[in-house]
Amino acid sequence: MTSAQDHFSAKLAYETDASDVHAARKAGERIAVVDVRSDEAWAQGRVVDAIHMHYREIAARAPQEIPADTPVVVYCWSPGCNAADKGALEFAKLGYDVRLMIGGFEYWVREGYPVQDADGVHRRPVDPLTGVARIRTRA
């Protein structure tokens, strides 16, 4: 392989994006989606059915809460946040198959995927800079 092939193969082995996570869940794939943000951030909204586990808690909690053979995807706020990297490192130290969801919660929301908070599950409008806004017509 060339160095570019090595680089992108390795990158894809350890990163995923909101679209791929959504598609995997929709297809019924067994993955644990873990939100590593603060309690305050979690309360503002999260990926539906995500597990809230701050990155500092992973070493203690993950072995009790997530089976070791479960693939894990971690996310934080946005591309400007490295908490997901810290969380992914902690899962990797424990031997989990772990990927980082690039774009974080920001891109999950901007792409129009379901968001959960204390009021239930919501979808926000798709940001046309990050996803395709589909217009629904009445049949």
pTM of the complete model = 0.90
Residue 58 lies in a domain: yes
For the beta sheet containing 32-35, the strands, ordered from the edge strand earlier in sequence to the opposite edge, are 15-17, 98-102, 72-75, 32-35, 51-52
Domain annotation covers residue 1: no
What confidence tier does 130 reach under pLDDT thresholds 50, 70, 90?
Answer: confident
pLDDT digits (tens, 9 = 90+) for 9-52: 999 999 999 999 999 999 999 999 999 999 999 999 999 999 99
Residue 4 lies in a domain: no
Cβ 77 vs Cβ 104: under 8 Å = yes
The pLDDT value recorded for residue 114 is 96
First to last CA, the chain: 51
* Residue span of the structural domain in which 114 resides: 16-122
Q: Is residue 139 part of a domain?
A: no
In a domain, 6, yes or no: no
pLDDT band at 4 (very low <50, low <70, confident <90, very high): very high
CA distance 42 to 80: 17
Kindly state whether residue 131 falls inside one of the protein's structural domains: no
Q: How confident is the model at residue 135 (pLDDT cuts 50, 70, 90)?
A: low
For the segment 105-128, the average pLDDT, to the nearest whole number, is 93
**Is residue 47 assigned to a domain?**
yes
pLDDT for 37: 96
What is the arithmetic mean of pLDDT over 102-131?
92
CA 31 to chain centre: 10
Query: Given this model, what pLDDT does residue 127 score?
Result: 85
Q: pLDDT per residue over 68-112, tens digit each?
A: 999 999 999 998 889 999 999 999 999 999 999 999 999 999 999
- Residue 51's alpha-carbon distances to 42, 65, 92, 124, in angstroms, are 10, 9, 17, 21
pLDDT number for residue 133: 67
CATH code where residue 101 lies: 3.40.250.10
Q: How many domains does the chain have?
A: 1
- 1: three-class secondary structure by DSSP: coil
Residue where the block lists tokens 């999260």: 46
- The whole-angstrom separation of Cα 39 and Cα 18 is 21
